[in-house]
Structure 1
Amino acid sequence: MPLAQHRALAAAFAANGRNHPYLALTLNSLCNLDCVFCKPRCMPDYGHKDRPLTADDYAAIATEAGAWQVRKAHCSGGEPTLRADILDVIAGLAAGLGPDAAIGMTSHGNLRRGLTVEKLADAGLTYLNLSLHSLDPTRSAAIMGGGDPRVTRRTLDAALALGLRVKINCVLQRSYVADAFAVAELARELPVAVRLVELQNIGPAQALFDTEFIPEAEVRDRLHEWFAGAGEVPRDELGVRSPGRYLRPEGWAGSIGFISNSSCATCSDANRIKITPTGVARPCILHNRDIPLKPHLAEGTLADAFAHLFRSMLDRDANDAWQGFHYVDYDLRWDRMERPEGVPVPLPLLPTVTKAPSRARTAGGDR
């Protein structure tokens, strides 16, 4: 696309008051654990029937994204570390987005043999989100279908020793709420951000939701002694770009935040360009403007694809659901969903942009 149109579209996005977007890359659907609220092996597309993107594909996407001033890429799965080429993927993203980019990953921390946090950091990883739902090995295995929280803790310690930022994702369940509080208390001594994640009424978690859901408001009430007098942590300190609040109890080394997609999520500041394992980009979960990236990779037209993505994110301002509450997030591990492909956007037309109002949460938060 012409450079002038590129600049005009990027400027229009910058003027709307929302955070600049980042790449949210779901690298695979495979996982060697089986969390009760996830259960990947029960899904019909488990293992992928289609060919996923390659490390070279991710490097090309990151290079184009860098031209649009994107400076962050986050990798998730499945369990992304099961990819044999994970180090090449991380290196390609880091090279494409540039030396100041944030490159992160969500993992359960039980790394496969031969893969270490040191190797991931050497490849370009700058922060690590660890899934940890109980510190007790038996109870953790009941939640996660395997794994060992003691191994996850060693991964955490290795990441902190290397200077990586670390966040912990802990899903709240009523039967295991004491376990979640024990995980949260790791932030008392460690410089980590623990995010307490509300259960969502989607996928396998639907079978648990009625009995296991516990809302943020109730958790805050039960932890009121921690939060009394707690100071708010600036998001740039945590490397978090969403408007969610992170609180540091007095005297603690780390912080506690919430991802509350069920009780109080809105999408007013959502800024993720979500890309499925086979390369379907989804700029908005509620606005079907999906676009397959593989044809653009093959034809060298990724600039046109990113123009579509930026325009689609601007179109959120006119989306009826944009300022409302919603209770659905699409699972990006699987590509076979009944969602129409996006219609190409006429590039010469730029929307009238107004500054977005402030909201308390993003759709999907910052994983």
Structure 2
Amino acid sequence: MPATQHRDLATAFAATGRNHPYLAFTLNSLCNLDCVFCKPRCMPDYGHKDRPLTASDYAHIAAEAGAWQVRKAHCSGGEPTLRADILDVIAGLADGLGPDAAIGMTSHGNLRRGLTVEKLQRAGLTYLNISLHSLDPTRSATIMGGGDPRTARATVDTALSLGLRVKINCVLQRSYLDDAFAVAELARELPIAVRLIELQNIGPARALFDTEFISEAEVRGRLDQWFANAGEVSRGQLGVRSPGRYLSPAGWAGSIGFISNSSCATCSDANRIKITPTGVARPCILHNRDIPLKPHLADGTLHDAFAHLFQAMLERDRNEAWQGFHYVDYDLRWDRMERPEGTPVLPLLPILAPDTAPPSCTRTATGER
């Protein structure tokens, strides 16, 4: 593809006011824990029946993404550290995106024997997101189906000592609200970003939603004393691309943010290019314009796939082929939710002029626009 088309598409995307896209890899569906709102083993394709991407595949995808000025890749699962080749995957992403790239991972922090934060950092990891929902070992085991929050906390401390940026993801449940507040209070002494995440009415969480959901608005009300004199921390400063405000209470070393896809639509700010374990790229997790990357890897035509991905994200709110407006772009592991059949690769559409860029989302109390 001509370099000018690279630049034109990247420029048109920047004109929308969104963050530049980043790669969000789901590396596997395997997990050795069993969180009550996730329950990976209940999924019909647990373990993946198709061959996943290899470390070499990830390196090639990252190299092409780097040509499109993509400078961030995030790995999740399942539990990505269960992959035997995780260090090779991280190294391939870091090499492909270049020396200034952000390479991150979401993990429960109970690393398997032989794998350390030091090894992950040497491979190229620059930040770590730890899933932590209670500091109490018994209550944590009830929520997560195993693991030890003390081990996860030690992982956090090691990551910070190595200079990695650290975020903690804590899912809000009404029955465990005090636990979530205790997790959030880690940011009082540690230079971390704690993200309080609303429960979403999807997958196994549907069985909990009616009784356990608690909104950002209600939680903010309960934490009014913390936020009364809080200063706002920019997402750029935190290295955070997801929507929401991040506040640092007066005197705290870290910050608290919210991810509130249930009570407030965030799709217009979404900039993830989701890529499933078997190599299906999805510029929107809920719609059907997917691109299987394996044929492009085999044919050496990844540039065509990325041209489509950028154009699709430009048109996501206006193109009739996308079935009209949509609301929430879930950044969970639901790659395998049933989806309608779609055209694998759309023809490229005319590049939008800056004054015709899609409008930003108008957020309302109902999450609709």
Any conservation in 2 of the 1:175–1:212 contact (CA below 8 Å)?
A: yes
- In the TM superposition, residue 18 of structure 1 has moved relative to its aligned partner by 1.5
Any conservation in 2 of the 1:266–1:324 contact (CA below 8 Å)?
A: no
- In the TM superposition, residue 336 of structure 1 has moved relative to its aligned partner by 6.7
- In the TM superposition, residue 355 of structure 1 has moved relative to its aligned partner by 4.4
- In the TM superposition, residue 357 of structure 1 has moved relative to its aligned partner by 4.3
Amino acid at match of 2:289: R
TM-score by length of 2: 0.93
Deviation larger for 311-320 or 205-214? 311-320
What is aligned with 1:72? 72
Amino acid at match of 2:342: E
What is aligned with 1:326? 327
- In the TM superposition, residue 334 of structure 1 has moved relative to its aligned partner by 4.4
TM-score by length of 1: 0.94
- The 1-side partners of 2:4 and 2:328 are apart by 39
- The 2-side partners of 1:222 and 1:258 are apart by 14
- The 2-side partners of 1:345 and 1:328 are apart by 20
- The 2-side partners of 1:340 and 1:327 are apart by 20
- In the TM superposition, residue 103 of structure 1 has moved relative to its aligned partner by 0.2
- The 2-side partners of 1:352 and 1:340 are apart by 30
Indicate how the Cα distance of structure 1 residues 344 and 352 shifts in structure 2: closer, same or farther if over 3 A, else same. Answer: farther
Q: Which runs of 5+ in 2 are unaligned?
A: 364-369
- In the TM superposition, residue 11 of structure 1 has moved relative to its aligned partner by 2.1
What is aligned with 1:117? 117
What is aligned with 1:298? 298
- In the TM superposition, residue 338 of structure 1 has moved relative to its aligned partner by 2.7
The percentage of counterpart residues that share the same residue type is 79
Indicate how the Cα distance of structure 1 residues 184 and 330 shifts in structure 2: closer, same or farther if over 3 A, else same. Answer: closer
What is aligned with 2:6? 6
Secondary structure of 1:6 counterpart: helix
Any conservation in 1 of the 2:317–2:326 contact (CA below 8 Å)?
A: no
Any conservation in 1 of the 2:317–2:325 contact (CA below 8 Å)?
A: no
What is aligned with 1:365? none
- In the TM superposition, residue 286 of structure 1 has moved relative to its aligned partner by 3.8
Indicate how the Cα distance of structure 1 residues 297 and 318 shifts in structure 2: closer, same or farther if over 3 A, else same. Answer: same
What is aligned with 1:56? 56
- The 1-side partners of 2:335 and 2:28 are apart by 8
Deviation larger for 345-354 or 46-55? 345-354
Any conservation in 2 of the 1:278–1:335 contact (CA below 8 Å)?
A: no
Amino acid at match of 1:140: S
- In the TM superposition, residue 205 of structure 1 has moved relative to its aligned partner by 0.3
- The 2-side partners of 1:138 and 1:15 are apart by 49
What is aligned with 1:338? 339
Any conservation in 2 of the 1:26–1:76 contact (CA below 8 Å)?
A: yes
Amino acid at match of 2:352: P
| Match status 1:349 vs 2:350 | yes
Query: For the aligned residues, what is the CA RMSD?
Result: 2.0
| Match status 1:283 vs 2:283 | yes
Deviation larger for 177-186 or 316-325? 316-325
Q: Which runs of 5+ in 1 are unaligned?
A: 362-367
- In the TM superposition, residue 229 of structure 1 has moved relative to its aligned partner by 1.0
Amino acid at match of 1:190: L
What is aligned with 1:364? none
CA shift digits 1:294-329 (9 cap, x unpaired): 000000000000001001001124158999773573
- The 2-side partners of 1:102 and 1:331 are apart by 20
